[in-house]
Structure 1
Amino acid sequence: MGLRESIGVARGHREATLLLKNAQLVNVLSGEVYLTNVAIYQELVVGVGVDYLQAEQVIDLKGKMLLPGLIDGHVHIESSMVTIPEYARTVVPLGTTAIVIDPHEIANVRGLDGVSFMMSSSKGVPLGVYAMVPSCVPASPFETAGDTLMAYDLADFLLKRRVLGMGEIMNFPGVLNADEDLLGKLAMAHDMIIDGHAPGLTGKDLNAYIISGIMSDHECVNPLEALEKLRLGMHVMVREGSTARNLADLLPAITWANHHRCLFVTDDRHPSDLMDEGHINAIVKKAIALGLDPMIAVRMATINTARYFHLPRLGAIAPGFQADMIVIDSFNDFNVEYTIQRGHVVAQGGHPLFGSKKADTSRVVNTVSVGKLSPEKWDIHSEEPEKQKVKVIGVVPGQAWSHNVEATLPVVDGIVRLDPNQDIAKIAVVERHKATGNVGVGFVKGFGMKRGAIASTVAHDAHNIIVVGCSDADMQHAVERIVDQQGGLVAVRDGRVLDSLPLPIAGLMTEDSVPYVAKKLENLQRICQQQLDVTVLNPFMTMAFLALSVIPELKITDQGLVDVEKFELVPVIS
């Protein structure tokens, strides 16, 4: 594509490759919506105006709305449980034309080999895929990950094409305590984008966190928290994922004066939610329904994201911008009728116009290796004769954070027992990267489980095997099945596998389609409800975040219970 030819098309001396006529253009640069034509030459927008009338291909939009392609500014693809080619076949028809991935999930399993796999698998896919280099692998010193990425490991990767900067800095205590390696990572990325992760951080500590060069946060849960971060110069990523949904709570903080520093992200979105609700399109639609000005909503999904990540040719429809755009029927319904990426129609009527492709998975499979599991591994001992006070992880439905609660449980033969009558099950994390034999065991409240066990290798962020159950034998059987299938999800009752979803790619993903995975997850959830009496929604996703040792209050890893606010390991016995 030559500049000379593009100038010729813009001046009307050459024919455009694609013309979109009679479009109600949503101009995020001027804040207007007006009827016009848009001329595209190969991958670029070359002209906007009613004087452009001819092209090799002409699509008459008949007054439908033309918007810039939607951008997800922070997403962990691994949470969709599918590869990028399969992910694209679902989100591109929903209007997403670019994403910024933080592949720290797979990096915790396979290090930079995992990150390289994600980037290489995205080649040739009609979806712009940009990456932030994982900054915290492992996320904290309280877990055993499959790899450790030090500052010197990341230097060359930061120079790679499509890498925009440093991924979310989750270890905020490390920043505040001036951890040498972490400061080294921040220094390496000082002239790039550095994403944050600072739930509940405020006052002087927040100032100290920001001065290190961190520019954004996606962990705000209320307007006051978002406003404080905006006032101090941060960009606020408004998250609406599968587990954490903060859109409705944060909307009061967004105004005409500050919205340019706000953007939409999904962070983690499950296959069933992608199928049932959508992607960024669903967030824009919901924001408008909740009263956000439509122009602000569209900007937060397009130009704001592009500007934050220094992507000057994305996020708007104007001469010189990459021809990423979508056609919708209306702001209120927000049905995506066409998706155009790099000047080509790649989806129409909700269906992709491109196929899938297989990736080389040789360096990201066979990742589950567990040490010997004796029955005693599941025991929690007590010297009390009958009852014991213990710390319990309290599930908070719909959120990644948890409560630190206390309960009194029965003691039998010196072993603390779970109590389904108090809605208290047993929870454990089994190290699966290096066969260390580490098993962290504790108690959890809020699943409603009365029998059986569920287990998964999707356990943020080290992605060891996490298991919740009402029977030690079923918990062990569930873990053994996970090892046999080399990762994934499983539900067990009375020593029998009720159903499972193998995830052979790093224990996190499969090359199956999003609809297939969604159907399997739906069946697993139905089994949890009907045969295990689980009451919490999305039990596997809920369970996955109970191992995330950087989000308050009480979490569990293969090393034991973690009091996140104290940032230390604590005993189960109170």
Structure 2
Amino acid sequence: MSIKLQQLTQNVLSSQGKLEADFILRNAQIADVFSLTWQKADIVVKNGMIVALDRTNQFQAKQEEDAAGGYVIPGLIDGHIHIESSMLTPGEFSRVLLPHGITTVVTDPHEIANVAGAEGIQFMLDDAQKADMDIFVMLPSSVPGTQFENAGATLTAKDLAPFLQHEQVRGLAEVMDFPAVLNGQEDMLQKILLSQEANLVIDGHCAGLQSEQITGYRAAGIHTDHECVTAQEAIDRVEQGMYVLIREGSAAKNLRDLLPAVQSHNARRFGFCTDDKYVDELIDEGSINYDIAMAIAEGMQPLQAIQLATVNTAECYRLLDRGVLAPGYKADFVLIDDLSTMQAKAVWKNGQKVAENGEMLTNRQAPVVPAHIYQSVHLPTITKDRLQLAFTKGTKANVMEIVPNQLITNHVIMDVPVKEGVFVPSVEQDLLKLAVIERHHQLHTTGLGIVKGFGLQKGAVATTVAHDSHNALVVGTNDEDMVMALTRIQEIQGGFVIVADGQILAEMPLTIGGLMTDVPAQEAKEQLAGLHSALKTLNPTLDFHFLLTFSFVALPVIPALKLTDTGLFDVTTFQHISVEA
């Protein structure tokens, strides 16, 4: 008899009380996410599965625990997150979020894939196997995000095909290159077709798309969108057959604006997701638990919010063995005392208690990283000449204006300071210089631009976290500090560096692909706190998440203006434009 058949037999016998269970959580108020009611029962577990909900106290188990009437909900599921944005490896990321009750995530590793290609995906899959939570992977669809920039790799349908049979792969990740879809570009449609033939899910990325463009996405079989910023956008997508994942991350905060779209008749087509959230906020707030608490505070019924965060997302990604507390489902559940805060008292994964009172009960494992992923930053020698932004016609410029805590930017045409034919940053006008330099293949292409809204009074900030191609990105008030910041980025092989007046104020090395750290989460949090403190020196009135907002100014698939290593890019027309207007 095979092990799986033996376990199935045991589960059936245990469900009938004919075989002792492994574990029982007694006296629980259980969330029924189908009927949206609370049921008082004992949860009976065998071989990591729920085999019965006992209301008559007739089952026995090797171990048991008393929930003392506390609320028990299914393990929470994040429908879309880039683990790399936490700056942690999958195994360390798991140790941060399990104590908050998140037992499953669906991740898109397109950040590391843009740096290290298929080998980056394989690293994430391998490290995820060590995690205590379940980490499912969507294969990156758009590496590079567009053909208008230089990434570290290019992934074709042929490159993705070997991963389709991996048990942790759930489908094709956010299809960002909408012109490739709507114009019927063969390689993109081949990726979609491969996923369809494997009966996998295809994620969308519909930022700024109109209803008729959504129709084109649906005709291609694209299943989800996490880029809605208005309730009407969300309603349009649901009406066209999509699932909408309501996003609340460090930079993009859309939950409050989207909640009015969720009504009793359409609620089953909504879930929650994080997309991008930094390690410090994940430690302090969690992710999907935080979304539920916020939704409840905004007036949503607790069980409705829990339904979005569990069974809805599970069904969206065809994870039909979880998200529900009922016989035949995984024994992933969370004990909560106060629904308004959604703070987890204890968390069980596959019937084993893995976290209690905010602490993991298992041991940490260090990541194993391919050597060359540790050496991914290849910048040229940086000089002030590389950063010169010349004007030949006058002083009028196309300026990128950031929107704090959002991924979108505004396109502003205005007069800017020009001296001897060269742009000069102005602290008074909040007009700073922006540069993106290719760092993967020693192409050394450099894009220059002007940005408004960061409010730096001095200094410069540089990083290799520049979505999605992750070239070196720097913003500054003067060339000298920008050069120093970029030089230091090369020395530490990626991360964040903050400089002012010729001095390095703070840095955070991210040596795994220039995106992730191999240090424990708490140490990473402390390094990040140092960055935030240094940013206050550069901008004493800073009141938004600078680092995450900054890291998206190079993403040429979200309107309106972005900067890549090949120049200033107008996302609305999907073409490069000159800085000089």
Compute the TM-score of the two structures, normalised by the length of structure 1.
0.98
One-letter amino acid of the structure 1 residue matched with residue 482 of structure 2: M
* 2:3 alignment counterpart: none
Alignment counterpart, residue 499 of structure 1, candidates 502, 506, 510: 506
One-letter amino acid of the structure 2 residue matched with residue 217 of structure 1: D
* 2:102 alignment counterpart: 96
CA shift in 2, pair 1:142/1:495, >3 Å: same
Higher mean C-alpha deviation, range 411-420 or range 337-346: 411-420
* 1:430 alignment counterpart: 437
The answer (yes or no) to whether the contact 1:142–1:559 under 8 Å persists in 2 is yes
Equivalent residues in 2 for 1:412-451, closer than 5 Å: 412-451=419-458
Higher mean C-alpha deviation, range 497-506 or range 519-528: 519-528
Alignment counterpart, residue 52 of structure 2, candidates 37, 47, 56: 47
Q: Identity of aligned pairs, percent?
A: 39
Alignment counterpart, residue 14 of structure 2, candidates 9, 21, 26: 9
One-letter amino acid of the structure 2 residue matched with residue 46 of structure 1: V
Q: 1:532: how far off?
A: 5.0
Equivalent residues in 2 for 1:124-523, closer than 5 Å: 124-190=130-196, 191-363=199-371, 364-384=373-393, 388-523=395-530
Report the Cα distance in structure 2 between the residues aligned to 1:259 and 1:250, rounded to whole angstroms. Answer: 12
Q: 1:536: how far off?
A: 5.1
One-letter amino acid of the structure 1 residue matched with residue 521 of structure 2: V
Report the Cα distance in structure 1 between the residues aligned to 2:130 and 2:525, rounded to whole angstroms. Answer: 25
Q: 1:541: how far off?
A: 1.1
* 1:560 alignment counterpart: 567
The answer (yes or no) to whether the contact 2:382–2:486 under 8 Å persists in 1 is no
One-letter amino acid of the structure 1 residue matched with residue 292 of structure 2: V
- What is the number of residues matched between the two proteins? 572
Report the Cα distance in structure 1 between the residues aligned to 2:512 and 2:326, rounded to whole angstroms. Answer: 40
One-letter amino acid of the structure 1 residue matched with residue 532 of structure 2: Q
Alignment counterpart, residue 113 of structure 2, candidates 107, 110, 122: 107
Equivalent residues in 2 for 1:53-64, closer than 5 Å: 53-64=59-70
Q: 1:85: how far off?
A: 1.5
Q: 1:317: how far off?
A: 1.0
Q: Secondary structure at the match of 2:416?
A: strand
- What residue ranges of structure 2 are gaps of 5+ in the alignment? 1-5
Report the Cα distance in structure 2 between the residues aligned to 1:407 and 1:568, rounded to whole angstroms. Answer: 20
One-letter amino acid of the structure 2 residue matched with residue 440 of structure 1: G
- What residue ranges of structure 1 are gaps of 5+ in the alignment? none
Q: Secondary structure at the match of 1:189?
A: helix
Report the Cα distance in structure 1 between the residues aligned to 2:389 and 2:537, rounded to whole angstroms. Answer: 29
Moved over 6 A (4+): none
Report the Cα distance in structure 2 between the residues aligned to 1:32 and 1:537, rounded to whole angstroms. Answer: 39
Report the Cα distance in structure 2 between the residues aligned to 1:228 and 1:124, rounded to whole angstroms. Answer: 40
Report the Cα distance in structure 1 between the residues aligned to 2:499 and 2:397, rounded to whole angstroms. Answer: 26
CA RMSD of aligned residues (A): 1.2
Q: 1:279: how far off?
A: 1.4
Compute the TM-score of the two structures, normalised by the length of structure 2.
0.97
Q: 1:382: how far off?
A: 1.7
The C-alpha deviation readout for 1:387-415, integer Å capped at 9, x for no partner, is 51111110101101100112212221221
Equivalent residues in 2 for 1:522-537, closer than 5 Å: 522-531=529-538, 533=540, 535=542, 537=544
Report the Cα distance in structure 1 between the residues aligned to 2:343 and 2:129, rounded to whole angstroms. Answer: 28
CA shift in 2, pair 1:508/1:397, >3 Å: same
The C-alpha deviation readout for 1:187-240, integer Å capped at 9, x for no partner, is 111131000001121232221121111011000001111011111101001001
